[in-house]
Homo-oligomer: A and B are copies of this chain.
Amino acid sequence: MQKQQYLSKNQKIVLDHVEKANQPLKAYSILYNVQKKGLKAPLQVYRALDKLVEIGKIHKIESRNAFVACKNSNCLVSNATAFSICESCEKVTEINNSKLSKYLSNFEDNSGMKYSKYNLEFFGLCKKCKNK
């Protein structure tokens, strides 16, 4: 069986829903909202999310246990992700900065470990919240 090219029914439904949101969504909020489309159980959502994360269509914001659609067209595989997170309004933005990604992808320390993947989360106040 070759590597999957097309998304399955459930995967499409979940991706669709996450793409329409412009903020990270919680798994159970996704579940609630796709129930009218036939996904009844948490596992159906989690399985779709797992796959979508694996192929890079969706990223998980680890510090928030939430999922957001990839906005980064060249992010075919989700192995190098960076986000900014506003600690006031919780707005999350995917950072697409080639210098940063180059720097981190090539980063090596003295541990003898070669990194194949990273996830970076920046926290602070977004423009709006800073000016309040």
| Contact surface of A with B, Cβ cutoff 8 Å | 62-63, 84, 86, 93, 95, 97, 100, 103-104, 107, 109, 111-127, 130
Contact = CB atoms under 8 A, between A and B. Distances in A.
B112 A127 contact: yes
Nearest to A129: B113
A62 to B, nearest CB: 4
Contacts of A114: 124-125, 130
B117 A124 contact: yes
A118 B117 contact: no
A118 B115 contact: no
Given A112-B127, A116-B123, A118-B123, 5 more contacts: A84-B115, A93-B113, A107-B122, A118-B120, A118-B122
